[in-house]
Amino acid sequence: MDRFNAMRVFTRIVELGGFARAADSLHMPRASVTILIKQLEAHLGVQLLQRTTRQVSTTPDGKAYYLRCVSLLADLDDAEAAFSSTGAEPKGLLRVDLPVSLGRMVVIPALPEFTRRYPQVRLEIGMSDRPVDLIREGVDCVLRAGAALDEALVARPLGSLTQVTCASREYLQQHGTPLQLEDLAHHQVIEYFSASTSKRYGLEFVGEGGAPDHGLACSISVNSADGYVAACEAGFGLIQVPRYHIAGQLRSGTLVEVLRRHRPPPLALTALYPPHRQLSRRVRVFVDWLVELCDHPDIRDRLVS
């Protein structure tokens, strides 16, 4: 049994959700795929796949083995590409995780240009606002706003995001508009919290005046960026958010910027990937493309103005 071939067949079954589809995509007889998986399970001494008449799913062991296979096969492809020719076209599966709003509003609309340049790279895009364990989850690269906390990862700076403090028009009509930091004592704030660490984020300011030295009343806490903005639109209180995320609401007047003299700190925008992915052409060209994207005048103006 060719173990690397067995790994490729196994990962294709998991990704396509069935033996028949995997066999067709690999141009293999379906019986050969079935035999190969039986040999692989016998070699490992564990069941990797649960088979029913309608679907195929991984067992707990199968899920763990799948993630290891993805990493090993990516390393093998990278090693072969590095020594075959310096001009080899990047190819294969690239798993990327993006913040929901950045992915939806900035990165994904621009992705057709990347796929035109690198048609042999197959993208799998995850979108979440939670910290991602790149090694355990088999992710090649993540884009994150804020401090890069994992020093074990390689960080590529992409720029920064301008933040604003804002509230809904209806909220300000009811509670008044804060003009100084001291006015915040009479207002409600919406907290953003991390579901994984439970850390909570209220309002923060830089420059003269600093951060409020009194506790601010919190009306509601939310753990997603879109939910955070939705709570603000519903009139629960003040938030701080990257300007690009609410540019439409600011233009329409649904949300109103306040405390313009007291700016929130900008959010660093960073691409992160594991050290063993530094030589991956897929990761390298994708991160280079992200740098180019964020440096484009139209995108840069949206993110930092």
Look at residue 82 and tell me whether its pLDDT is greater than 80. no
Query: Does 261 lie in the same domain as 170?
Result: yes
Phi then psi for 163, rounded to 5 degrees? -105, 155
**pLDDT for the residue 117:** 94
Q: Are residues 239 and 202 part of one domain?
A: yes
**149 versus 291: which is more confidently predicted?**
291
Q: Which of 67, 83, 99 is the last residue of a domain?
A: 83
Of 64, 83, 102, the one marking the end of a domain is 83
Highest average pLDDT, of 12-26, 83-97, 130-144, 219-233, comes from 219-233
Catalogue the long-range contacts made by 105-110 (C-beta closer than 8 Å, 24 or more residues apart): 105/244, 105/245, 106/244, 106/293, 106/299, 106/302, 106/303, 107/143, 107/290, 107/293, 110/293, 110/299
* Burial class for 305, CB neighbours closer than 10 Å (0-12, 13-18, 19+): exposed
Does the pTM exceed 0.75? no
Number of domains in the chain: 3
Distance between CA 30 and CA 26 in Å, rounded? 10
Q: Do residues 273 and 150 share a domain? A: yes
pLDDT number for residue 256: 96
Same domain, 142 and 168: no
Nearest to 68 by CA among 4, 152, 126, 132: 4
**Residues 256, 182 share a domain:** yes
* Same domain (yes/no): 46, 128: no
Range of the domain at 287: 89-154+268-304
pLDDT tens digits, residue range 221-266?
Answer: 998 888 999 999 999 999 999 998 999 999 999 999 999 999 899 9
Per-residue pLDDT reduced to its tens digit, 188-211: 999 988 776 777 888 888 865 555
Q: Are residues 21 and 77 in the same domain?
A: yes
Q: Does residue 149 sit in the same domain as residue 189?
A: no
Final residue in a domain of this structure, among 83, 107, 138: 83
Specify the pLDDT at position 213. Answer: 45
Same-domain pairing of 54 and 104:
no
> Per residue in 272-289, pLDDT tens?
887 765 567 888 899 999
Same domain, 259 and 282: no
CATH code for the domain of 20: 1.10.10.10
| Mean pLDDT calculated for residue range 26-44 | 90
142 & 171 share domain? no
Find the farthest-apart pair of alpha carbons in the chain and give their distance in angstroms, rounded: 73
Q: What is the CATH number of the domain that holds 100?
A: 3.40.190.10
276 and 234 co-located in one domain: no
Greater confidence (236 vs 4) lies with: 236
Token pair in block for residue 141: 């690269």
Model pLDDT for residues 88-107, shown as the tens digit of each residue: 688 888 889 998 888 998 99
